[in-house]
A and B are shown apart, each in its own frame.
Chain A
Amino acid sequence: MTDNADISADLKTRVESAIADRTPLAIVAGGTKQFMGRMIQAEDFDVSEHRGVISYEASELVLTARAGTPLSSVEATLAEKGQMLPFEPPYFGHGATLGGTVACGLSGPRRPYAGAVRDFVLGVTLINGKAEVLRFGGEVMKNVAGYDVSRLVTGALGTLGLMLDVSLKVLPVPAEDLTLTFDMDFAEAIQQMNRWAARPIPISGACHDGEQLRLRLSGTAGGVNTAAERLGGERQNGEDFWRDLRELQLRFFDGDDPLWRLSVPPTTPPLALPGRTLVDWGGALRWLKSDADGDSIRSVVSTAGGHATLFKGGDRTGQVFHPLPAKLLDIHRRLKRAFDPDRIFNPGKMYEGV
């Protein structure tokens, strides 16, 4: 397998034949995120060979790469120039690709402070459900010509088409990272994280793992050290911790109970839910290991103003994502039809009929 291959013509042909014989396709690249979304009946469509960085210019802060490019090689390319993907994407396994990361809309611990993957997507090339190759957005930072389809397909789990390549805004790696730990209980930690976020402190991660509050600071050496002196706490080498948090490999994530991802307003106090909870994103993300029934979890989270996803494990044939109000679901179905009228791409992966 080569590092650089443009197989878009083959991919288009495959989509054309799928349309002709009405075969739904399940898009697969690295196979690291198959556990996400709803279970679907479709033929595997391996797109991982469409790979390679197409262009990268550090002074422009823009990288364009084919969707099958391994995430590790994207990050290595950037690291050579002292740059990074600011949303700190999780891999969830060896073969993670750029396309899978964007399609799944996955961002790591830095998300509340730097932005999510959607905040950095500048453009995409897409094969839609009519086998047309379409280019939206571009390689420039600001672009309001036409609807923002690039961000619409980000996190759409491949249901609107096959991404061929993606252009992303990238950022310099901060000169210094530093992790502080504080002994504090859960409820107090949530309040503290919010108080800090309202002050000009160079935060790049804030988590409570059930035992301690951990805060990561990133920036210039002077900025980070002065902030650390003011905040107190205990300095720690945090690199492994933040990696294991990002990859969901902390001990917390062990065990067979389903893993729920609760996205809530950051100030939400601890929720009364059975199971174990870990707080990330400065309070805005709660991981829950629980075998409680889905409806009761969703109802508690809805009341708090958030939404719940059955992230891993559990029953993946029913509702995996938070149910949408009727009119919104209708808009989703219409958008699906607008991009993929014959329901070729990952049909039902997100919602029934989507």
Chain B
Amino acid sequence: MQNSETAAVDHGLDRAALAKMLRQILPAEAVLFEEEDLRPYECDGLTAYRKLPLVAVLPDTLEQVRAVMRLCYEKNVPVVARGAGTGLSGGALPLENGVLLSLAKFNRILEVDAVARTARVQPGVRNLAISESVSHLDLYYAPDPSSQIACSIGGNVAENAGGLHCLKYGLTVHNIIELKMVTVEGELIVIGGRGLDSPGYDLLALMTGSEGMLGVIVEVTVKLLPKPECARLTLAAFDDVEKAGAAVGRIIADGIIPAGLEMMDNAAIRATDDFVQAGYPTDAVAILLCELDGTEQEVGDQLQQVRALLDDCGATEVRVARDEDERARFWAGRKAAFPAAGRLSPDYYCMDGTIPRRELPNVLAGMGAMSKEYGLPIMNVFHAGDGNLHPLILYDANVPGEIERVEELGSKILQLCIDAGGTITGEHGVGIEKINQMCVQFKSPELLQFHAVKHAFDEHELLNPGKAVPTLNRCAEFGAMHVHEGKLPFPDIERF
């Protein structure tokens, strides 16, 4: 396990003293400090890391959020914002000496403008709730993470969440236009605007994916898109992963941007088919799910083209979902991949590297070899269209020492992604989980530049400190443990 750092700040307040101050600005029931009340907040979706916050607060007005921030700023108390707690990188892991600020009560859709195609919502609103609330207008909110029934839009912005359809429709950053944010000092600012751009620097992009390190998001205005007239899903089976990978490249090089283009390996096909009876060909080495959407004619034109390409790439079977039921069933398998892994194995660890697509066969082969070496099965589902891998390492946390080996395997997989010209995280964020790998992906001047950006918003490092961007000292320590090719990374840092 990686050591999560407790924020360096020493504010000298104990639990009782801090709770008392918070109860002066919040209703009593919005301040939690008994251990049993704090338990639900001890971790996010990355359950291997747990910590109780000093106090948890659940404000439900903007003024209350501002008051909490003002107090914490004045008393030098660190704050961790939390949406729905579905994050997979420990971003919402509390700090022992800090306040856990839950935005769960901010769950109202404030305004839908059907003509301008926007919705103004509070940060705690669930991702899927937005699309549900505008469905009668034939509009929807495009980014659809698999966690969409549970995760909050505030958390989506903080992580720049993606989904099954982001190849064509983009990530969170492409689908929001305005944020209201409370600064560390408790000031309310508006970022972005109701038009298509805003004056000055693109702070909207900077805030997106900033993991709660720059401000607390208290309102989000999202773009809504017209529902496509028609969507058709094609399933193609392959007897070879390389062929499946090549087919993905061919479809795209041929001028088609599918709405979704997903790949699953045999382990994932079996696990999910067993779980939701998706009707997948369970003997296939890999399957591709390719969704085309648009007008009837567009989809008709492209469907023919895709079928021909898939045949040409050596697909052993090509099935176009006959109706909405079958389409939903094919997708259900893919969407159930994580829970299906959970059924197969007591625990699983979900990785999130992104690579240039052409590297897919190499990276898969590399992972296969590592899986054997460690004796830990890996099941693979990925957003093949954009090269975002989600290898799931299956393990049992009750076996002593296993979790350490899983982490070691995980960090080797991330190294593989970096070596392939990719990145350690495509959409789940760095949080506390991948903080050491940041030292591999970035050099010290880049990390220092990130810290300088943080300081422009949060000079005293009170917002989610210790996450997302490692200190150089931490990298030096990590580097000392992982000497790469005989060279110490970060030679310029003092050793201790």
Q: Tell me which residues from 249 to 269 in chain B have a Cβ below 8 Å from any Cβ of chain A.
A: 249-250, 252-253, 255-257
Q: Tell me which residues from 40 to 69 in chain A have a Cβ below 8 Å from any Cβ of chain B.
A: 57-62
Contacts A281-B196, A325-B189 given: A61-B456 contact, CB under 8 Å?
no
Q: Looking at the complex, which one of A148, A149, A267, A328 makes contact with B208 (CB distance below 8 Å)? A: A148
Closest to A137 in B: B423
Contacts A200-B226, A220-B302 given: A138-B423 contact, CB under 8 Å?
yes
Chain A residues with Cβ under 8 A from B200's Cβ? 321, 324, 328, 332, 350-351, 354
Interface string of B423-460 (1 = CB under 8 A from A): 11111111000100010011001100110111111000
Interface string of A311-354 (1 = CB under 8 A from B): 00000000001101101100110110111000000000011001
Measured between alpha carbons, how far is A153 from B226 in the docked complex, in Å?
31
Q: Looking at the complex, which one of A306, A327, A334 makes contact with B193 (CB distance below 8 Å)? A: A306
Chain A residues with Cβ under 8 A from B197's Cβ? 105, 116, 155, 263
Contact check, A145 vs B423: say whether CB atoms are below 8 A apart.
Answer: yes
Measured between alpha carbons, how far is A144 from B194 in the docked complex, in Å?
25
Mark the stretch among B99-107, B293-301, B310-318 that contacts chain A.
B293-301
* Distance between A170 CB and nearest chain B CB, rounded to angstroms: 11
Q: Looking at the complex, which one of A141, A322, A325 makes contact with B386 (CB distance below 8 Å)? A: A141
Mark the stretch among A4-12, A191-199, A206-214 that contacts chain B.
A191-199
Chain A residues with Cβ under 8 A from B171's Cβ? 142
* Distance between B141 CB and nearest chain A CB, rounded to angstroms: 14
Contact check, B114 vs A200: say whether CB atoms are below 8 A apart.
Answer: no
* Distance between B295 CB and nearest chain A CB, rounded to angstroms: 5
Closest to A305 in B: B194
* Distance between A114 CB and nearest chain B CB, rounded to angstroms: 10
Q: Is B202 close to A, CB under 8 A?
A: yes
Interface string of B144-180 (1 = CB under 8 A from A): 0000000000000001101000110011011000000
Interface string of B455-496 (1 = CB under 8 A from A): 111000000000011000000000000000000000000000
* Distance between A189 CB and nearest chain B CB, rounded to angstroms: 14
Contact check, B187 vs A324: say whether CB atoms are below 8 A apart.
Answer: no
Contact check, A220 vs B298: say whether CB atoms are below 8 A apart.
Answer: yes
Q: List 15 additional A-B contacts (Cβ < 8 Å) besides A141-B385, A220-B302, A307-B198.
A: A57-B358, A59-B249, A118-B205, A132-B445, A139-B421, A144-B423, A144-B428, A145-B442, A148-B160, A200-B294, A263-B198, A267-B116, A307-B195, A327-B187, A337-B456
Residues of A within 8 A of B (CB): 57-62, 81-82, 105, 111-112, 115-116, 118-119, 128, 130, 132-136, 138-149, 151-152, 154-156, 160, 171-173, 175, 194-195, 197-202, 219-223, 225-227, 263-267, 281, 284-285, 305-307, 309, 321-322, 324-325, 327-328, 331-332, 334-335, 337-339, 350-351, 354
Q: What are 23 A-B pairs at a CB distance below 8 A?
A: A59-B358, A118-B202, A140-B387, A142-B162, A142-B386, A142-B387, A142-B427, A144-B430, A147-B209, A152-B202, A171-B257, A198-B115, A202-B295, A222-B297, A226-B295, A263-B197, A266-B196, A305-B193, A306-B194, A309-B199, A332-B200, A335-B201, A337-B456
